[in-house]
Structure 1
């Protein structure tokens, strides 16, 4: 029995005794404990373990008592239903003779994982397995050995980005996979084969432990925008863009370090006042977060207030659960940031910035912001809400969209951090 954590939620995994695998039609019972608190998880796991062990014993007694097969099957179904699971139908059972090749194994594994992982992860796994079949071949599982897996590792090192992608991104591939991506594909293959071993479909995992040391290659580097590039990108937003998300999202990213998806899924009620400071409340009620630690309060920079962000929010305050950006609709994976990431990629290229892997990591005092007097719907100075002083200078590290316009939030800052004392204070353009 093993207690583990998936994301922020604790889960319990219990291996089914070999003499009961045929009855329960599975080799493992995997139950969510529906809590992120470790003490609560331990208490629930203890109760669940007792129920599972008791169920195992009842099934053994029923079999030893020579009960008919249908009665044992009914008892097994009742036991699993009490845990929140069901017995697999005949169509769902893994038939070993049909899983003889690498592609068969991948499809069976994805079917098994379909209800256990989110759709985006499932798509990533499917893409990785297609890459593996492309390089290794749809060979028999009995022919898969260590030398073939090592050859696959070498092939990944020479694989261009977006190989096998069906969209336009595959036509613009001019760089090889990063070392991090190579290791990710190797880990997916190893996980697939490890599952095959547990299901007794293959004898061992020849991909176990394969990885490469990160070498800091040129195409892995991320480059910081300089002040001139920041000015070129952000100062024209208010002149050429009418849609509010295109005006505000890049500015919020630059002044907060929040991830793109975190910004795009904000609701009106997520702009809150805390201890006299206006903040963004990043929480899982607005939408999925990358990690449990991503749930936090991010201070609203005074420059955003000066530019009228609170005025913009006030116009929507009658609908607190409404999204800040009404033009954004979730894609099939439930993500709101897809269209903004693609737009920003085009926006950068139109202004001569074609470096794909650039991030905000700047002293924002050098950026000349729009003149707030030129913005419509501003409050008078007497009625204007301002952030309490003193407010620390903030640096941020964030990335919006790549060259092909996709979001890559792997290096987005998990929180806004104070700048060092040597950094200049952020000054408004009106100063």
Structure 2
């Protein structure tokens, strides 16, 4: 049910929360209105015009176009007008309102009329949104979001939120398209606006522009911010909706799977496992068990365990480990090829040596855990020994894993569970239990690549 609808004894009401900066002018925490219907769809339709008009009044007041008294009168008229399909319903302020009238009273014009509050600026909205969401973000996600909003503030200026429209967002998108990739690394002391001016005066063909994927990420983050502003009553619509650039590639083509020849080149060129065992094992774990780069790099010795007679990776977010999504937490069998190559011997040797993790050469960073240094090494290895295709990276190992199982006729639900993807099927996803280790091992055992590996 929509958050703005209340169901009281089967009857629907619309709830409109008063933003904190307006409670002095509209002395209530929320307005509640009976919609005189027991049908959820009808209630949503009936609530829309009232919400739209009231949020418009909020915006007009914040922008200084109407006084506090005019805002109250406007809300009073909106709430007490008759709908076309139903008689005029009863209105009431929230019970904790400091000067709430009786249900049949109109909004009080006797409350003090204040000067319009300052308009909500983009910087204030960004700080509010980040503070509301930061506890739910990992360090890397927070850093990326804050980077996006810093870039937007630079290009849009500290504009009034109410002034942001589709034209402004389109203009922002057009600027992002021409900015170079790795903007902050290339120009650490300059603003995005200064870089934009520099490029316009003296374009450089050696600077590749920001990718469409990155531009769309910025627009998506702006859209999330605008949703927050709508919820707070600063906007009546989201100007960033539908403005992401359409990709010519299908989702399954955004990253390519490695071919059989690519996989052969990977296994043929893996370095010896003595000095830096992670450079030998982590690519094979990605290839044979589909663990993400970060999931492999952060493995502890206790994360490799025997479950119902099957050796498995316990992929979890305990301690300093992080996972991409909730569904990433899973059990993945260790592929028999890994065992035959001596992977369990490496695990045992690390335990005997008293090491808590499998790869003690890798060090934790707040921004991206244990995978940063290894990811950079693998990309160099990938370009030198495997392929120059920009759409092939470590993540391509997961694509190869999924594609191979799919072509072998494996069930989609099993593939999703092995890879840590959410199961979109309501029946099996919500009500079905997870597959047992033995069932997953049977599928894993059928995975066959036309590659040869050595125990070097």
Q: Smaller-chain TM-score range?
A: 0.5 to 0.7
* Structure 1 residues 182-207: Cα deviation after superposition (integer angstroms, max 9, x where no partner): 43322211222333344444565322
- Supply the distance in 2 between the matched residues of 1:356 and 1:230 (Cα, whole angstroms): 16
* Structure 1 residues 10-31: Cα deviation after superposition (integer angstroms, max 9, x where no partner): xxxx9866799859x9979xxx
TM-score (norm 1): 0.58
Report deviation, 1:339: 1.2
- Supply the distance in 1 between the matched residues of 2:257 and 2:312 (Cα, whole angstroms): 26
1:230 aligned partner: 263
1:291 aligned partner: 325
2:288 aligned partner: 255
- Supply the distance in 2 between the matched residues of 1:229 and 1:182 (Cα, whole angstroms): 30
| 1:148 equivalent in alignment to 2:168 | yes
2:420 aligned partner: 414
* Structure 1 residues 116-149: Cα deviation after superposition (integer angstroms, max 9, x where no partner): 4332222121222233334444444454222122
2:46 aligned partner: none
Q: Give the 3 Å change call, closer, same or farther, for CA 98–241 of structure 1 in structure 2.
A: farther
SS of equivalent to 1:245: helix
1:164 aligned partner: 184
1:45-194 equivalences under 5 Å are: 97=118, 99-100=120-121, 102-165=122-185, 174=208, 176-178=210-212, 180-194=213-227
Report deviation, 1:362: 4.8
SS of equivalent to 1:255: helix
Larger Rg: 2
Q: Give the 3 Å change call, closer, same or farther, for CA 126–165 of structure 1 in structure 2.
A: farther
Report deviation, 1:326: 1.6
- Supply the distance in 2 between the matched residues of 1:420 and 1:157 (Cα, whole angstroms): 46
Aligned partners of 2:267 and 2:453 also within 8 Å: no
- Supply the distance in 1 between the matched residues of 2:179 and 2:148 (Cα, whole angstroms): 12
Aligned partners of 1:257 and 1:414 also within 8 Å: no
- Supply the distance in 1 between the matched residues of 2:178 and 2:291 (Cα, whole angstroms): 33
Q: Give the 3 Å change call, closer, same or farther, for CA 314–347 of structure 1 in structure 2.
A: same
- Supply the distance in 2 between the matched residues of 1:259 and 1:26 (Cα, whole angstroms): 50
Report deviation, 1:248: 1.2
1:72 aligned partner: none
Aligned partners of 1:267 and 1:320 also within 8 Å: no
1:276 aligned partner: 309
SS of equivalent to 2:375: helix
Report deviation, 1:249: 0.9
How many residues get paired?
Answer: 313
SS of equivalent to 2:183: coil
Report deviation, 1:227: 3.8
Aligned partners of 1:268 and 1:317 also within 8 Å: yes
* Structure 1 residues 342-389: Cα deviation after superposition (integer angstroms, max 9, x where no partner): 11122233437333321125589xxxxxxxxxxxxxxxxxxxxxxxxx
1:310-349 equivalences under 5 Å are: 310-318=344-352, 322-333=356-367, 335-349=369-383
2:89 aligned partner: none
TM-score (norm 2): 0.55
Report deviation, 1:429: 5.7
- Supply the distance in 1 between the matched residues of 2:247 and 2:294 (Cα, whole angstroms): 27
SS of equivalent to 1:235: helix
Unpaired runs of at least 5, structure 1: 4-13, 29-55, 65-94, 365-392, 396-411
Q: Give the 3 Å change call, closer, same or farther, for CA 209–313 of structure 1 in structure 2.
A: same
- Supply the distance in 1 between the matched residues of 2:359 and 2:449 (Cα, whole angstroms): 32
- Supply the distance in 1 between the matched residues of 2:301 and 2:254 (Cα, whole angstroms): 36
SS of equivalent to 2:219: helix
Aligned partners of 1:158 and 1:176 also within 8 Å: yes
- Supply the distance in 1 between the matched residues of 2:282 and 2:28 (Cα, whole angstroms): 47
Aligned partners of 1:153 and 1:186 also within 8 Å: yes
SS of equivalent to 2:350: coil
- Supply the distance in 2 between the matched residues of 1:283 and 1:26 (Cα, whole angstroms): 45
- Supply the distance in 2 between the matched residues of 1:336 and 1:201 (Cα, whole angstroms): 40
- Supply the distance in 2 between the matched residues of 1:18 and 1:428 (Cα, whole angstroms): 63
